[in-house]
Amino acid sequence: MDEEISIIDTKTRNEKIKNFLVQNKKLIILSITVIIIIILSFYSFQIYEDNHKKKISEKFNSAVIDYEKGNTTRSTRALIEVVEDRNSTYSPLALYFVIDNNLIQSKTEVNELFNILIDKTSLENEIKYLIIYKKALYNADTIEENDLLLILKPLINSESIWKSHGLYLLAEYFFSKNEKQKAKDFFDQIISLEIVNQEILKESQKRLNRDLSD
């Protein structure tokens, strides 16, 4: 008797499954199709990203070779394109190369490239803060106090490892202008940091003891 009941239950369950599959055939096919499309799209995107990164890498390397061969115009144009591509690895490297080799004379144009990296490129926070610091360093000799503070504001308000660099730049900026109290305030902030570059800490202590002691 129990065996007969078990057979009936199995048949009933199988019939229910069959009916469910028949009644929901279109939905099931659609769901499977969507899943397949998502998987294929993901792998296609990964392949595209890998190929695109390879092309950007090749363009960057070619630009460096062109520069070494003396083809500075073509090299500069290619490096600008690499920055504009907003690649997290090669776009910052391209801008650093442009700045280190003084390939663009216009500060406005260089700052526009900085802004592409800072505002439009997906970067790890510490990399972005480093770029903000480099932008401030690049402009420090030619801009006013408020503009320098504005550039460094995101860095100064962070807990980044580059924060001490930004504070030190501001401290030296004000010291060079003989605004000693402002300089002292920023050197004092460096001394109080928990995360601080040790060389900057040492130089700040020297400055406070030698030039800004009461």
DSSP string of 118-186?
HHHS---HHHHHHHHHHHHHHHTTTS-HHHHHHHHHHHHTS--TTHHHHHHHHHHHHHHTT-HHHHHHH
Residues 122 and 78: their CA atoms lie apart, in Å, by 20
Q: Along the 214 residues of the chain, how does pLDDT read in single tens digits?
A: 445 555 555 556 666 666 655 666 666 566 666 666 666 555 555 654 556 567 888 999 999 999 999 999 999 999 999 999 999 999 999 999 999 999 999 999 999 999 999 999 999 999 999 999 999 999 999 999 999 999 999 999 999 999 999 999 999 999 999 999 999 999 999 999 998 999 999 999 999 898 887 6
Residue 164: CB atoms within 10 Å: 22
Q: What is the pLDDT of residue 211?
A: 80
- What residues have CB less than 8 Å from 101, skipping those under 6 apart? 67
Q: For residue 212, what is the DSSP state?
A: S
Residues 161 and 16: their CA atoms lie apart, in Å, by 63
Q: What is the pLDDT of residue 39?
A: 65
Q: For the chain, what are the domain ranges? A: 1-123, 125-214
pTM for the full predicted model: 0.77
Q: What is the pLDDT of residue 48?
A: 47
Q: What phi and psi, each to the nearest 5 degrees, are found at residue 157?
A: -85, 5
Residues 197 and 160: their CA atoms lie apart, in Å, by 11
For the chain, the maximum distance between any two Cα atoms, rounded to a whole number of angstroms, is: 103
Contact status, residue 55 vs residue 90, Cβ threshold 8 Å: no
> What are the structure tokens assigned to 115, written together?
């802004």
